[in-house]
Amino acid sequence: MTVPKLKTGIDAFDLISEGGLPIGRTTLLAGSSGSAKTLFAAQFLAMGILKFNHKGVFVTFEEQVEDIRNDLKGFGWDIDQWESEGMWTFIDASPKEEDVITIGEFDLSAFRIRLERAVTKNQAQRVVIDSIGSIFTHFPEHNIIRQEMSKVTMSLRRVKATAIITTERTEEYGAISRYGVEEFLADNVMILRNVLCQERRRRTIEILKFRGSNHVKGETPFTISPKKGVVIVPISSLTLTQSASMKRITSGNPALDDMCGGGFFKGSIVLVSGATGTGKTLLASNFMKGAKEKNERCLLLAFEESKEQIFRNAKGWGQDLEQLEAEGLLKVISIYPEVQSLEDHLINIQDLVEQYQPQRLAIDSISALTRNPTDKGFQEFVAALTNYLKHQAITTLFTATTNMLPGRASITESDFATITDTIILLRYAELAGEMQRSVTVLKMRGSRHDAAIRRILIDGQGMQIGAPITGISSQISH
């Protein structure tokens, strides 16, 4: 039998936990310094108030109450207001300036009485205890700590509160908790990590144990948004439930439309791969321009060029993207990939999509995002982003830069190949002592397409696609 769960209101967490935290039970939340334990716990109370009208009790053993109030205001949570309305109650057990000398035996009986009274009086469904590490300094013997904290968890169960207790750990992949006993006090254990990887921090959450209940196994990345708090990226909960449209949309280049059997499928993922100078950004510009005839909105995310550079280059191809922006049909965001983590980029893209509601999206280039993260981190980002865009039915064009001029496959392509619907290769080919540009449609899922390698010419009118090139046989594999 599965234990019923209480939705936390932290959206993606309720997905990976398959419904939230087990009702009426205590969950230990362990993490190193800076792993967002206090924020996650406070968000559990805040979302309870905002989304479910649940009252909460926050016990602080370390931070001062005023500091917590001020820190949480930054996320738009008005703790003062909630306190005045009886929705949020603090129990202040934090250290004070006066020195405290413990004489004789020390126990938590007074605290338990105070906690039970606060929960009962306020009819609180949610409790946070942050953090229990400081209690351990009062107990030289670990068996006494375990006895006292067991009594606290029994008190929480008696008042039927769903609780989070935070605790510290000294290393990301070592013992669960600092003192090695905390994990035995709770029914459930979760771990927050903040791992330094290639000079960047990567945050993850792992549900280690939910007694009597199912949950997603393994680590799930998350980030901290200044407006939303903890935002989890539910990689392991992605679903293949998106619809598949038969409607075609133009690529912005009629000849390329013909090569693709009539244009791109609406809501599909298109990858344009090529070495520098082969015309990737030009095809992205065509894709933006192609939206004008249907009065569609386009979003262009540029990770290598500024908006002014993009507009100038487009004019050289006979395209006025500036006018498209003035008409409200185009929004260009230029940003260096290094200024944010991949999780932050993902959340920002989702926010932009929700605000602007584009029908088309171009990312130029996705390869730039591979400069910092690990291969695994990039794969997770790609999977989450494409899954999100497909569910939004947004036709998306990614450009990817190959490392070699002839066009060998890059890590970007290998991560993308199986999840894209269309792959277009732009390559250089040496013919009769001259370097020629070429284009071929390598893959067009669900449709016939022209598999020929065709010569292309880039001039003041854009990309001109010509006749098939004959006499070469190994352009792709070189």
For residues 193 and 199, what is the distance between their CA atoms, to the nearest angstrom?
A: 15
> How would DSSP label each residue in 289-318?
HTTGGGT--EEEEESSS-HHHHHHHHHHTT
3-state secondary structure of 232: strand
CA quadruple 69, 74, 77, 81: dihedral sign: positive
Closest CA to 162 of 199, 205, 119: 119
Q: DSSP E strands: which ranges in 148-304?
A: 162-168, 188-197, 200-210, 219-225, 229-232, 248-249, 264-265, 269-274, 298-302
Six-digit token string for 201: 């921090």
431 DSSP 8-state letter: E
Q: Which of 62, 148, 380, 413 is catalytic?
A: 62
Q: Do residues 141 and 148 touch, judged by C-beta distance below 8 A?
A: no
Q: CA-CA distances (angstroms) from residue 214 to 5, 19, 319, 408, 429?
A: 10, 9, 54, 44, 55
For residues 190 and 206, what is the distance between their CA atoms, to the nearest angstrom?
A: 6
Give counts: helices (H), strands (E), the chain. Answer: 13, 22
- For the chain, how many residues are written? 478
206 among known catalytic residues: no
Closest CA to 89 of 52, 48, 51: 48
Residue 236 buriedness (CB in 10 A; 0-12 / 13-18 / 19+)? middle
Closest CA to 118 of 81, 92, 94, 150: 92
Q: Which of 304, 305, 322, 325 is catalytic?
A: 304
Q: Which residues pair with 444 in a beta bridge?
A: 422
410 DSSP 8-state letter: P
For residues 77 and 228, what is the distance between their CA atoms, to the nearest angstrom?
A: 10
Provide the Cα torsion 432, 434, 437, 442; round to 10°: 40
343 among known catalytic residues: no
CA quadruple 73, 78, 84, 85: dihedral sign: negative
Active site residues: 62, 304
